[in-house]
Amino acid sequence: MDLISTLQAQFQSSLDTFCGRAYTENSDLHRACTYALQGGGKRVRPMLTLLSNAACGGNAAQAFIPALAVELVHTYSLVHDDLPALDNDSLRRGRPTVHVQFAESTALLVGDALLSDAFSLFDPQLYPCGVSDSQYLAMSLELARAIGGSGMVQGQFEDVDWTGRSDGTPETLLEIHRKKTGRLMGAACVMGGISAGASAAQLDTLRTFGENLGVWFQLQDDALDGAPDTGKTPNKDLDQGKLSLVRLTSATQAQQITQTYETRVRETASRLDPKGTGLVALIHALAQRRK
């Protein structure tokens, strides 16, 4: 198995252990937390944490805990985004969304639980991963700063706020993508770096890399909105009047902007991962994705 497949299998096993430990009550809340977390998906964000750790010369054992935290946060954000008050989506990764499968009240609380529980993971006693208290704290803070009212949630707010409006520019959209998707991917990379004891300069590079990757990833998502077999409701974003490059500019310019981000991300990945087995391989896989 290559590095990515090995880490994916190990991450899945960490996630299984975590769910079996954290969500054991005979309640719909706990069943729904597990349902949301075990929906499969590409696990891109935890892979970013694990591969950034590897790129900085760490060992994977240090990075499964922050990788779990980032996946919990990502999952919470999907569960809340799918709610009727936001995107009102009934399909996610080919399965009913949490509020459809369970109840709207349950889905709201699942998001709240996953978000809170993410911060319980930075626990040297309960989840030892061979790093110092200061490193645990630094990872927890990196995550919190990336996802709060000046980060991911503000991006989500702007996404809603700009829906249906016609005065947006490509820059508006890129900034929304940077906050909504890029900030969490940036934190995912930085947490991997912190776990490996990376320098402040390396952490800055990882943050920018993750943010650019997030923008590129989201531009790809927009382009796939009309595609079949993505596991999501087809043309959902278009029908809802969401901003997208194709609506804001010409097809040629849209492709050009996406290409710029891809190039930037590939170049940084090559610098961070000169052997090309980790981050570079992941970027290569993402460039091919059809969902």
From residue 160 to residue 179, the character string flagging contacts with a copy of itself as x (rule: CB under 8 A) and all else as - is xx------------------
Q: Would you say 182 and 213 are in contact if contact means Cβ atoms under 8 Å apart? A: yes
- Min dist CB 88 to a copy of itself, Å, is 10
CA distance 53 to 51: 5
- Min dist CB 127 to a copy of itself, Å, is 10
Candidates 8-16, 17-25, 222-230, 278-286 — which segment interacts with a copy of itself by CB under 8 A?
17-25
- In the set 61, 100, 115, 238, which binds a copy of itself (CB under 8 A)? 115
From residue 126 to residue 155, the character string flagging contacts with a copy of itself as x (rule: CB under 8 A) and all else as - is -------xx-xx--xx-xxx-xxxxxxxx-
Whole-Å CA distances, 59 to 7, 55, 71, 182, 190? 11, 10, 19, 25, 15
CA distance 261 to 284: 14
Candidates 54-62, 118-126, 192-200, 252-260 — which segment interacts with a copy of itself by CB under 8 A?
118-126
Candidates 9-17, 44-52, 157-165, 270-278 — which segment interacts with a copy of itself by CB under 8 A?
157-165
From residue 68 to residue 107, the character string flagging contacts with a copy of itself as x (rule: CB under 8 A) and all else as - is --------x---x--x-xx-----------------xxx-
* 84-111 residues labelled b (16+ CB within 10 A) or e (exposed): eeebebebbeebebbbbbbeeebbbbbb
In the complex with a copy of itself, which residue's Cβ is closer, 22 or 44?
22
Q: Would you say 184 and 152 are in contact if contact means Cβ atoms under 8 Å apart? A: yes
CA distance 89 to 170: 25
CA distance 115 to 203: 24
- In the set 156, 181, 205, 230, which binds a copy of itself (CB under 8 A)? 156
CA distance 134 to 139: 9
Q: Which of residues 183-242 bind a copy of itself (CB under 8 A)?
A: none
CA distance 229 to 217: 18
Q: Is 26 in the site for a copy of itself (CB under 8 A)?
A: no
DSSP helix/strand/coil, 95? strand
φ and ψ of 245, to 5 deg: -55, -40
Whole-Å CA distances, 269 to 62, 95, 157, 238, 259? 21, 33, 30, 32, 15
- In the set 22, 50, 56, 173, which binds a copy of itself (CB under 8 A)? 22
CA distance 141 to 163: 31
- Min dist CB 72 to a copy of itself, Å, is 10
- Min dist CB 223 to a copy of itself, Å, is 25
| Crossing angle between the packed helical segments 104-120 and 133-147, to the nearest 10 degrees | 150
- Min dist CB 114 to a copy of itself, Å, is 7
Q: Is 246 in the site for a copy of itself (CB under 8 A)?
A: no
In the complex with a copy of itself, which residue's Cβ is closer, 148 or 276?
148
Residues lying near a copy of itself in the complex (CB under 8 A):
22-23, 25, 27-30, 33, 76, 80, 83, 85-86, 104-106, 108-109, 111-120, 122-124, 133-134, 136-137, 140-141, 143-145, 147-154, 156-158, 160-161
